[in-house]
Amino acid sequence: MQKKVILKNGLGIIIGAFIYAIAINDFLIPHQIGEGGVTGLTAIGYYALAIPPAFTNLVLNGLLVVIGFRYLERQTIWYSVWAVIWISLFLKLPHFIGYHTTQTLIPTVIGGVLMGIAMAIIIHCQGTIAGSTILAKIVNCYLGIPNGSAMLFFDLIVAIPSGLIIGFQNMLLTIIELYLSAVVLNKLLAKFGAKRAVTIISDQYETIAETLSTQFQQGITIIKAQGYYSQNDQPMLYVICTAKQLATLVPVVSQIDVKALVVVEEVRSVQAEQLKQLL
């Protein structure tokens, strides 16, 4: 089981690294749009001194990985090293899309969305892209600040001064791109852990509970409740399920009691030992 998890995370990180490299090589660098953190420094190094982004990425991220060894889990660090290696390799490849336009807002938006997707995949697979994501991960672990928000803070520290190299307009586009990537990152990380909390109120709660328990093979909580107006006892069922299970649950409840009240909420849930993933 552990080997399957490692393989799944390793492949996921490769996919995330590929998307990340496309965002940089095909949308950001060709249009003189900067970045934050180490990626921003690699872009500045390329614009100002023609230093290959792959080289700068490998050296600077290597230093931050060393810092991460002190504050993060070893598993996260090794996955981060794996991500940095693949990002550096993909950055050395020629452009896949070769897209160019004078409408700079288009690559800004596309680049920001792709960066957010790539980082979400990599972080979901227990890794980071090193750079500001390692610093963000440390802040997330110790202060509970969302990864995307913490990363945006560190990225802006590099992005704003980069205006001296790439110009004021491109600096503003860089800030837009960083904001979009942070929003996409936070949204996707929240979705990765999302489930549905279902509250069912019905006079036939016992039959519903037995049917759902048998069908889903999981525990169902019975909550003792009392109607305010009638003052009668009215137990409620509380179920945590996936979106796919919800599609089955609702018809089952309706077949047993067409008058049942079903309340559905989106929640984030993990096992106790994984509580830090909710941050």
Same domain, 184 and 243: no
Same domain, 259 and 129: no
pLDDT number for residue 268: 66
Same domain, 225 and 127: no
Same domain, 78 and 91: yes
Q: What's the domain range around 230?
A: 194-278
pLDDT number for residue 95: 72
Same domain, 214 and 235: yes
Same domain, 165 and 144: yes
Same domain, 61 and 100: yes
Torsion angle of alpha carbons 132, 134, 135, 138, nearest 10°?
A: 160
Q: Look at residues 135, 162, 192 and tell me which one is the last residue of a structural domain.
A: 192
Q: Look at residues 131, 163, 192 and tell me which one is the last residue of a structural domain.
A: 192
Same domain, 116 and 162: yes
Same domain, 177 and 99: yes
pLDDT number for residue 170: 81
Domain count, the chain: 2
pLDDT number for residue 11: 94
Same domain, 167 and 36: yes
Same domain, 76 and 144: yes
Q: One digit per residue, pLDDT tens: the chain, 279 residues? A: 588 888 999 999 999 999 998 998 888 888 878 767 776 777 777 777 777 777 777 777 777 777 777 777 778 788 888 888 898 888 888 777 767 777 888 889 999 999 999 988 998 888 877 777 777 777 777 777 777 778 778 777 777 777 777 778 888 888 888 889 888 988 887 777 677 889 999 989 899 999 988 888 878 889 998 888 888 888 899 988 887 788 888 888 999 999 899 998 877 655 545 545 544
Same domain, 149 and 226: no
Q: Look at residues 145, 162, 192 and tell me which one is the last residue of a structural domain.
A: 192
Q: Report d(CA 125, CA 80) in Å as an integer.
A: 10
Q: Would the pTM count as exceeding 0.75?
A: no
Q: What is the CATH number of the domain that holds 260?
A: 3.30.70.120
230 phi, psi to nearest 5 deg? -85, -20
